[in-house]
Homo-oligomer: A and B are copies of this chain.
Amino acid sequence: MIKTLHNDQSIMQQAIKQAKKTMNEDLGGPFGAAIIDADGTILSVSSNSVLGDHDPTAHAEVNAIRMAGQKKNSHDLSGCVLYTTAYPCPMCLGAIIWANIKTLVYGCRPEDADAIGFRDDFIYSFIEKGRSDHSVLSIKEKHRDECLKLFEEYQSKNKTLY
């Protein structure tokens, strides 16, 4: 890990540079992200690699979180700050919260991403309107009783939550 302290403009510039690189290699969309540890260490600089990795989850923020988790040998990124060149989609926002990151700095607004054809706002809208629009996603409950047994087994073993 590089131990140099960075100002947040230089961090965002690194995220932009990485995004340009992978965008121009046709690996993914124009999105970059970086994660800074509590001590100012840059843990990860990443970008969208959805096309190159054949992975719809490989957004810049998710990639940066996965990389930082490997660096810290932990799923817990408490105290870290995530920089992203654009406001995160619901998937990435969820990932950020699960990683226990409490501060998020973004560059472009949701409407900026919409203007170049990315539909992040559309997914927020689906969630905010109760997730009932079947033209987006049809959600069905089945086999709940069998699945509940898994939760019961988890509880009976008194597993540590993460």
Interface residues of chain A, those whose CB is within 8 Å of chain B, are 8-9, 12-13, 16, 19-20, 23-24, 26, 28-32, 50-51, 53-59, 62, 65-66, 69-70, 72-77, 85-87, 89-109, 112-113, 115-118, 123-124, 126-128, 131, 136-144, 146-151, 153-155, 157, 159, 161-162
Contacts and interface: CB of A to CB of B under 8 A. Distances in A.
B12 A146 contact: yes
A23 B154 contact: yes
The interface centre, meaning the residue of A24, A29, A76 with most chain B CB atoms within 10 A of its CB, is A29
Nearest to A71: B54
Nearest to A54: B69
A16 B146 contact: yes
Nearest to A13: B146
B112 A151 contact: yes
Majority SS at the chain A contact face:
mixed
Contacts of A72: 54
A19 to B, nearest CB: 6
Nearest to A28: B162
Contacts of A53: 69, 75
Contact of A147 (B66, B69, B86, B104): B86
Nearest to A84: B147
Given A29-B162, A50-B162, A127-B127, A139 B73 contact: no
